[in-house]
């Protein structure tokens, strides 16, 4: 009678759950799981650091609306995932961390790499569990995958003590959980839909907020139906592209004016945390009437004075509101609101015009980002990471596809850009994937270029090298004069990081060389790195950086 080990059983259950790719760092006691995954036909992406592996998995999961799975070894392998779990949960990205842990027989007596891994995981996770027997591996994985993706997605942690991975059992006794429930989306109460439609119809200055939750719900087409009526919207950084950014009611470039002027706000899958200015004065009108649509009821109790909370799926609710608005006359049509916002947008865009066209050497970061914008295919996945460069990218770069835009997110975590772009490429292999990263942000995960090369995926890394953390701004203005380089970094030759793995390397020092270099990188059928020397003294226009 053929026997298989717990690692192989886990791999079979992952396949049953619709997962075809896993990420991780090879380590005991999970070697059997990696081997089982390979034997079962999964793509196994073996990374250089568990933190990056887990970021890749969460980006993959976010893009595909499936659990992103990362496998880590015991002790430090697992604790290296703690930041990524925290980031995934805060950013609502589905991540399943499978952590091998010390064999039961040596627990409590200084077993190899022993750590209280469930305790390390708990505050960063929606749910934790410990596999208690090899037989029950399928069941525990079924629970973990379900919890990572239901409600607001986030990280879950499942502990795999060594003995449950290594134990072998007769193949025919393995009971997989083949069937995942078909889950209907939570619908809004009909009277709530009517109230939202009434508020929007009577608003003189209505505004929609589009967050990551709307992306997860695939609410783009439904939200576009409301926006098509002439109701403007602004998005969170990762809510970009849910409705394509070239919709005429996309008003992120007039974000402050929109938040400050709106008399009725309906937030779809958006949270009133720092990203949306906490939903209260002074960023918002004190008398603004706020509706929040969210799948998590507790989210409705926050800093914003929410008048109506609708616990429901963003797409279903947006469709119902669009239906309820059909045929109504909108008060907004006579208020000049969208015209005023368009003027604000033009004013704000005017502030950037000179920088976007700058021919200066060293290159202005706005000029770099403009060239990235013009070179990017419409369906590209895009990850931004850094301080100055992420801020510039957020303002200048559009997105046209849902769940294809990644940035440091709710936690502002540096080191996400490189792995997010790799995870996105594996999830959306037919679309280009570009990481626009500062030199610090690149360095935080730079060895993963070897992973990209080994796995054979043509991701484009654009490194905006301004020699440091926010360029020289902190070094020159916030540290004692004459300090050694603390916030600034060496002007390293980052293109060598891709040369070492036979990738496509570009080094750009002059603005006119940007576009051809970016196009060559996008056309290269292997990982590419465009190292761009940008002005260390440049800062974000319109405030919003360390020296604001």
Ligand X SMILES: Cc1ncc(C[n+]2csc(CCOP(=O)(O)OP(=O)(O)O)c2C)c(N)n1
Interacting stretch for ligand X, rule CB under 6 A, among 168-176, 198-206, 307-315, 432-440?
432-440
Asked if 438 touches ligand X (CB under 6 A), the answer is: yes
Please list, in sequence order, all residues whose beta carbon lies within 8 angstroms of the beta carbon of residue 270, skipping any fewer than 6 positions away. 209, 210, 211, 212, 213, 214, 236, 239, 276, 292
Asked if 441 touches ligand X (CB under 6 A), the answer is: yes
Asked if 436 touches ligand X (CB under 6 A), the answer is: no
Asked if 532 touches ligand X (CB under 6 A), the answer is: no
Least distance to ligand X from the beta carbon of 376, Å? 19
At 10, list the tokens.
């886990």
Q: Which residue's CB is nearer to ligand X, number 310 or number 446?
A: 446
- Please write down the HEC assignment for all residues of 96-115: EEEEEECCHHHCCCCCCCCC
Least distance to ligand X from the beta carbon of 44, Å? 27
Judge whether 19 and 42 are in contact, CB under 8 Å: yes
DSSP 468-494: BTTTTHHHHHTS-TT--SSSB-----T
Asked if 435 touches ligand X (CB under 6 A), the answer is: no
Q: Which residue's CB is nearer to ligand X, number 167 or number 540?
A: 540
Interacting stretch for ligand X, rule CB under 6 A, among 115-123, 168-176, 183-191, 411-419?
411-419
At 65, list the tokens.
């609306």
Least distance to ligand X from the beta carbon of 27, Å? 23
At 22, list the tokens.
């896993």
- Closest residue to ligand X, judged by C-beta, is 438
Asked if 544 touches ligand X (CB under 6 A), the answer is: no
* DSSP bridge pairs for 465: 533
Interacting stretch for ligand X, rule CB under 6 A, among 56-64, 240-248, 467-475, 508-516?
467-475
Interacting stretch for ligand X, rule CB under 6 A, among 62-70, 124-132, 259-267, 468-476?
468-476
Phi, psi of 541 (to 5 degrees): -85, 145
Q: Which residue's CB is nearer to ligand X, number 102 or number 388?
A: 388
Least distance to ligand X from the beta carbon of 413, Å? 5
Judge whether 128 and 158 are in contact, CB under 8 Å: yes
Q: Which residue's CB is nearer to ligand X, number 215 or number 391?
A: 391
Site for ligand X in 375-394 (CB under 6 A): 386-389
Number of residues that bind ligand X (CB under 6 A): 18
* DSSP bridge pairs for 488: 468
Site for ligand X in 33-62 (CB under 6 A): none
Least distance to ligand X from the beta carbon of 444, Å? 7
Asked if 440 touches ligand X (CB under 6 A), the answer is: yes
Q: Which of 204, 199, 363 is nearest to 289 (CA)?
A: 199
Judge whether 337 and 203 are in contact, CB under 8 Å: no
Please list, in sequence order, all residues whose beta carbon lies within 8 angstroms of the beta carbon of residue 496, skipping any fewer than 6 positions away. 505
Q: Which residue's CB is nearer to ligand X, number 302 or number 544?
A: 544
Interacting stretch for ligand X, rule CB under 6 A, among 71-79, 91-99, 348-356, 407-415?
407-415
Least distance to ligand X from the beta carbon of 296, Å? 25
Least distance to ligand X from the beta carbon of 127, Å? 24
Least distance to ligand X from the beta carbon of 200, Å? 37
- Tell how far CA 174 is from the center of its chain: 36
At 96, list the tokens.
């399943």
Q: Which H/E stretch holds residue 95?
A: strand 95-101
β-pairing verdict for 460-465 and 264-268: unpaired
Asked if 372 touches ligand X (CB under 6 A), the answer is: no
Asked if 439 touches ligand X (CB under 6 A), the answer is: yes
Among 145, 270, 413, 459, binds ligand X (CB under 6 A): 413
Judge whether 515 and 375 are in contact, CB under 8 Å: yes
Least distance to ligand X from the beta carbon of 441, Å? 3
Asked if 84 touches ligand X (CB under 6 A), the answer is: no
At 513, list the tokens.
């060389």
Asked if 402 touches ligand X (CB under 6 A), the answer is: no
Q: Which runs of consecutive H residues, i.e. helices, occur in 220-332? A: 220-227, 255-261, 314-325
Phi, psi of 530 (to 5 degrees): -110, 110
Asked if 362 touches ligand X (CB under 6 A), the answer is: no
Interacting stretch for ligand X, rule CB under 6 A, among 65-73, 184-192, 406-414, 422-430?
406-414
Angstrom CA distances, 228 to 50, 223, 236, 327, 345, stand at: 44, 8, 19, 13, 18
Asked if 101 touches ligand X (CB under 6 A), the answer is: no
Q: How far apart are CA 359 and CA 364, in angstroms?
A: 8
Q: Which residues contribute to the site for ligand X (CB under 6 A)?
A: 386-389, 412-415, 438-441, 464, 466, 468-471
């Amino acid at each position: 009678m053929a026997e298989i080990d717990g690692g192989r059983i886990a791999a079979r259950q992952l396949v049953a759950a619709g997962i075809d790719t896993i990420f991780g760092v090879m380590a005991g006691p999970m070697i059997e799981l990696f081997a089982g995954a390979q034997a079962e036909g999964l793509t196994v992406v073996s990374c250089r650091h568990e933190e990056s592996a887990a970021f890749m998995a969460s980006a993959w999961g976010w893009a595909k609306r499936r659990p992103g799975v990362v496998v880590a070894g015991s002790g430090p392998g697992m604790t290296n995932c703690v930041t990524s779990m925290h980031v995934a949960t805060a950013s609502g990205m589905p991540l399943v961390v499978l952590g091998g842990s010390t064999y039961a027989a040596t627990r409590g007596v200084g077993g190899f790499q022993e750590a209280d891994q469930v305790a390390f995981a708990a505050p960063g996770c929606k749910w934790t569990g410990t596999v208690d027997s090899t037989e029950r591996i399928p069941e525990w994985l079924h629970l973990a995958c379900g919890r990572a993706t239901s409600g607001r997605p986030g990280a879950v942690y499942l502990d795999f003590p060594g003995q449950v991975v290594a134990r072998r059992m007769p193949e025919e006794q393995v009971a997989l959980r083949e069937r995942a429930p078909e889950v209907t989306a939570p619908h809004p109460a009909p009277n709530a839909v009517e109230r939202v439609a009434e508020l929007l119809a009577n608003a003189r200055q209505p505004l929609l907020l589009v967050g990551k939750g709307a992306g997860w719900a695939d609410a783009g087409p439904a939200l576009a139906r409301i926006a098509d009526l002439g109701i403007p919207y602004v998005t969170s950084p990762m809510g970009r592209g849910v409705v394509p950014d070239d919709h005429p009611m996309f008003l992120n470039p007039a974000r402050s004016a929109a938040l400050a002027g709106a008399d009725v706000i309906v937030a779809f899958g958006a949270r009133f945390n720092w990203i949306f200015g906490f939903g209260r004065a002074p960023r918002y009108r004190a008398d603004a009437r706020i509706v929040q649509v969210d799948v998590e009821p507790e989210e409705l109790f926050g800093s914003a004075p929410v008048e109506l909370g609708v616990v429901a799926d963003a797409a279903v609710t947006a469709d119902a509101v669009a239906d309820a608005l059909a045929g109504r006359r909108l008060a907004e049509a006579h208020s000049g609101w969208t015209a005023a916002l368009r003027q604000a947008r033009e004013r704000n865009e005017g502030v950037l015009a000179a920088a976007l066209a700058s021919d200066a050497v060293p290159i202005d970061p706005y000029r770099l980002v403009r060239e990235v914008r013009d070179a990017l295919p419409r369906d590209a996945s895009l990850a931004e990471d850094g301080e100055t460069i992420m801020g510039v990218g957020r303002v200048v770069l559009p997105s046209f596809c849902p769940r294809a835009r990644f940035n440091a997110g709710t936690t502002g975590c540096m080191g996400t850009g490189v792995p997010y772009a790799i995870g996105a490429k594996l999830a959306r292999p037919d679309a280009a994937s570009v990481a626009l990263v500062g030199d610090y942000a690149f360095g935080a995960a730079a060895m993963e270029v070897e992973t990209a090369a080994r796995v054979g995926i043509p991701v484009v890394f654009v490194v905006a090298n301004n020699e440091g953390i926010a360029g020289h701004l902190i070094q020159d203005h916030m540290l004692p004069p004459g300090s050694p380089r603390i916030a600034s970094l060496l002007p390293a030759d980052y293109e060598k990081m891709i040369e070492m793995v036979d990738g496509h390397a570009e080094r750009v020092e002059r603005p006119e060389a940007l576009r051809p270099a970016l196009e060559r990188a996008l056309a290269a059928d292997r990982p590419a790195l465009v190292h761009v020397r940008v002005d260390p003294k440049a800062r974000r226009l319109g405030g919003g950086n360390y020296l604001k």
